[in-house]
Amino acid sequence: MALGAYSDAHVHGMAAFRHSDSYWRSLQLFNAYRMLVALVLLISVLFTGNLLQLGSHDRTLFIQVTVIYLLFCMVCVAVIRTRRHFNWQIVVQVVADIVFIAILIYASRGVTSGLGLLLLTTIAGAGLISRGRLSLFYAALASIAVLLEQGYEVLVFQESAAQFIQAGFLSIAYFATAMVAHTLTRLTRQSEEIAAQRDLDVANLSEVNRLVIRDMPDGVIVVDGHGVIHQINTQAVAFLSEVQGGAPAAESVRLADCAPAVAAHLSRWHAGGRGAQTYSGSMDDRYGLRFATVGSRAEAGTVIFLEDLTRARAQAQQMKLAAIGRLTSNIAHEVRNPLGSISHAAQLLQEEPDSSPGMRRLLGIIHDNTQRLNRMVNDVLGLNRGQAPLLESFELAPFVRQFTAEFAETEGADPEIFALHADETLQVLFDRTHLNQVLWNLCRNALRHCRRVPGSVQIIAQRVRGSHAVKLDVIDDGPGVLPAVRGGLFEPFVTAAQGGTGLGLYLARELCAANGATLDYVESSAGAQFTLTCRMGYRNAVSSEQGITWSGAQGAR
């Protein structure tokens, strides 16, 4: 109970603090009304004489009380300016009103003077100002004062007891006024709470909209009917600064000043009578525009979406590749078994002693093509394995030296073709199996296009200056990559080599990405150059998909 009372008091106290200005302004207006009433009563009794019933019983008392009442209201003006003890001030003023008006009623021969109606305004005003607090208390005080005054009139001055009926009706009016004031203040308080909640909801919704617009990958611009920017996110600012001239894009700036081309698209859209519809268009090959009206009329404003078409194309390409990957994986599984049977049968036929040279040539063609198909199946299946790399730190030079020896033996090439330039202590952080597969694809391409003389394929490993990265270059002395082919160099199933699958470089780049590395083609004046950039390793470093751990002095870093 104590906690609940404290909570209620705290809430009311916070509400009073929150509406302190309106409370005090209302009290000032109420006091000004009381001063006006006192001044009108004083002027009336001074200049009308006996025309009115005011002061008919005791004119001197009436004038004295009215003057004191007016002075009291003036004192209240100074007290109100202190803005302290609001509740006590309203109680004192209302009680003083009841006392002063009761004395004025007595000086004017009772309730028949009509002065008792002044308390109706006092009770109503006090109830509204104090938000319904003590309204019935004020009505009870006023009723007691009027009934006591009427009883004094009957007992002392032998007035008619019938006037008690008028006093009773006046008391009922006081309570009715207090009840109405209480009800109105309760409804007003509820309306204020609802309005405050609505304001909070609107503020929260505006903040949510601002955060959503700020973090959207597309640019968003909100303009009014006059083409003035009301809201713009960072993506739109970057877009306009890249492709547009004019003033910097910002809020309260005209769209035509900072983005003339976008403003021209918007004007043509409105001029075409499509102001109440959405519109989609493009500015160039990279960026697209989309307009949507705010509300049902274009004059209310427009939302402009600036979309990066390259990102949309990349997403579409990823979906396409995923579908192709699933399809080819299923086909590869179905092809592998009959392909193995064909290869095995061809090998058995080649072992026959009575086979002719022509037959052997045909069997060689079958064997070569089955090997090519088998390599394609393995590449396709490798696209969908998705196995997490087992990162480990190892010395790069010995690894590449052993790799080139195995590669030359397997491919039937002269080992002198490959020249290695690397620091013997340089280490990399990579999956050994993945790096072997990446180098195999790069070296096979280089061997296919190089002149096959000693040093035709250069493998250069060096640390990237100013960073903890290692750059591994594979450079051949061949004709290089044609400009028409460079755009789709790393795309799957795209190849210019006869008998190639178009998956080697794509799979190599995917393996590099899984190991936190990059694989790029570098423009070169002679031959083709592929650069693999990966993380530098440390001694005794071992990693898996759960993380990387190091031991030793360097590993502590």
pLDDT at residue 158, as a whole number: 61
Rounded distance, CA 326 to CA 320, Å? 10
Residues 75 and 93 sit within 8 Å (Cβ to Cβ): no
Local structure of 464: helix, strand or coil: coil
Rounded distance, CA 511 to CA 434, Å? 6
pLDDT at residue 435, as a whole number: 92
Phi then psi for residue 211, to 5 deg, are: -65, -40
Position of tokens 């309005």? Answer: 195
Residue closest to 517 by CA, chosen among 434, 394, 396 = 434
pLDDT at residue 330, as a whole number: 72
Local structure of 395: helix, strand or coil: strand
Rg (CA), the chain: 47
pLDDT at residue 16, as a whole number: 41
pLDDT at residue 4, as a whole number: 39
pLDDT at residue 557, as a whole number: 29
**In this structure, what token pair is assigned to residue 129?**
């100002």
Determine how many CB atoms are found less than 10 A away from the CB of residue 89.
18
CA 516 to chain centre: 30
Residues 470 and 533 sit within 8 Å (Cβ to Cβ): yes
Phi then psi for residue 344, to 5 deg, are: -65, -40
> pTM for this structure?
0.41
Phi then psi for residue 175, to 5 deg, are: -65, -40
Residues 537 and 394 sit within 8 Å (Cβ to Cβ): yes
Q: What is the pLDDT along the chain (557 residues), one digit of tens a residue?
A: 333 333 444 444 444 444 467 778 887 888 888 888 888 888 887 877 666 677 677 788 888 888 888 888 888 888 888 888 878 888 888 888 888 888 888 877 777 777 778 888 788 878 777 776 777 788 888 888 888 877 877 677 666 666 777 777 878 888 888 888 878 878 877 887 888 888 888 888 888 877 877 777 778 888 887 778 878 888 788 777 766 655 566 777 787 777 777 787 777 777 765 544 556 665 665 677 777 777 655 566 788 888 777 776 677 767 776 776 677 667 766 777 787 788 778 777 777 777 777 787 777 778 777 776 776 666 566 556 656 788 899 999 999 999 999 999 888 899 999 999 998 889 999 989 889 989 998 999 899 889 999 999 999 999 998 888 999 999 999 888 887 777 778 877 666 565 555 678 888 888 899 899 999 998 887 789 999 999 998 765 544 443 444 333 333 22
